[in-house]
Amino acid sequence: MYQTCILPNGLRIIHHRTSGKAAHCGLLINAGSRDEREEEAGIAHFIEHVIFKGTERRKAYHILSCMEDVGGELNAYTTKEDTCIHATFMPKDYERALELFADLVFHSTFPDKELEKEKDVVLDEINSYKDTPGELIFDDFEELIYEGYSIARNILGNEATVQRFDKEAVRGFVKRNYHPNRMVISSVGDISFEKLLRIVERHFAHYPAGTAGPERTKPEGYAPRRTIVTKSTHQGHCVIGNVAYDYTREERGALSLLVNLLGGAGMNSRLNLSIRERHGLAYNIEASYTPYSDTGSCLVYFGCDKENIERCLDLCQREAHRLYEEPLGPVQLKRAKAQMIGQITIFSENGENLMLANGKSFLVYDKIDSLEETYAQIAGITPEALVQVAREIFDVAKQSVLIYR
């Protein structure tokens, strides 16, 4: 059972009460790397680092110790469209966690000395990322299909922009984006909603709502491209994919089912059975779909010996072609739906996963679909809908290809 509330300043709260020994709470902010100006590339992620380096009331050590002292964990992440600070702790420590969240987002001081130190940390992170082609290729692919738009940029930024960050730049981004009416507090834990609401009001209600949401430019003019990049790596890497549906499109469910069937987490995905099990060409192959507020990306990734790249690519395209040329029969469709329902159910049993998923859904849609509603949506997907979506997204002629050779 979910309970929700919106404070007068626009802050949204969603809570799911459980009887577990651990509680999970997160503060999600509708601001990410695509909301940066060109000269700010990487600053949303940089702030995720430096927000823990000191507030008007706490030094960095006291911030890190606040949850650790009671056995809790404090963490954060940045995506292209949102930023999240979250913690896991015992239910008795809700006040401690929420007071800390408010202190971090509204009272961070960003000490100059700490900013300079953290630049080196982020630059090391960027270099480490460059040494991991199996991760880097995903961002490079989105740069390819969204070229010319802020959503294309790597979340980490680049060395030149990171080196230029100072207190004024950091505070400028925070001032533009860190407002209660662009935030959601998501909670999963053993606390009554009434008590949670009192704690949230005590620490967040007095902050003004702030400005409207971010103004984002929708990527337009997609055209398929094929790019080969020479890399001095032992293995080749490849991504093939297309732009896809945004958060608002009803076809998201059908596309998610197709992606799971094609290259989801199950070892019985079509791509895994074909490329790994049948032909022994790749250890890792997967498909994914990432929706954004006004666009999305759907792609397949594999890593293999460089001499096998074209063969693997051909097999991927064959499997994609099958999705719209060979409609699923009743038994196949039933199995695909059952697998997806099972995966969603198991995922929801993890309290932290549930908290973050609820927060993201409330941030985007202002509502949560219950498991029963989700099951019903999956059950309603027809073979005809799957073929229509597959023709639109998996048509080989529409696919872009990025190869690290």
Position 212 scores a pLDDT of 77
**Is 169:40 a contact under the CB 8 Å cutoff?**
yes
pLDDT category of residue 211 using cuts at 50, 70 and 90 = confident
Q: What is the mean pLDDT of residues 361-378?
A: 95
d(CA 288, CA 341): 17
pLDDT category of residue 213 using cuts at 50, 70 and 90 = confident
Whether the predicted pLDDT of 1 surpasses 90: no
Percent of the chain with pLDDT over 70: 100
| Helices 383-393, 252-263: crossing angle, 10 deg rounding | 80
Q: What is the mean pLDDT of residues 7-16?
A: 98
**Which of the four CATH numbers 3.30.70.980, 3.30.830.10, 3.90.850.10, 3.40.50.720 does domain 226-404 have?**
3.30.830.10
Do the domains 2-204 and 226-404 sit in the same CATH topology, yes or no? yes
Question: pLDDT by residue (tens digit) across 255-281?
Answer: 999 999 999 999 999 999 999 999 999
Beta bridge partners of 59: 54
Q: What is the mean pLDDT of residues 291-297?
A: 97
Whether the predicted pLDDT of 86 surpasses 80: yes
pLDDT category of residue 215 using cuts at 50, 70 and 90 = confident
Whether the predicted pLDDT of 224 surpasses 80: yes
Whether the predicted pLDDT of 214 surpasses 80: no
**Which of the four CATH numbers 3.40.950.10, 3.40.50.1000, 3.40.718.10, 3.30.830.10 does domain 2-204 have?**
3.30.830.10
pLDDT category of residue 340 using cuts at 50, 70 and 90 = very high
Handedness of CA 237, 398, 296, 247 (dihedral sign): negative
Average pLDDT of the chain, as a whole number: 96
Phi-psi region for residue 2, left (φ > 0), alpha (ψ -120 to 50) or beta? Answer: beta
Per-domain residue ranges for the chain? 2-204, 226-404
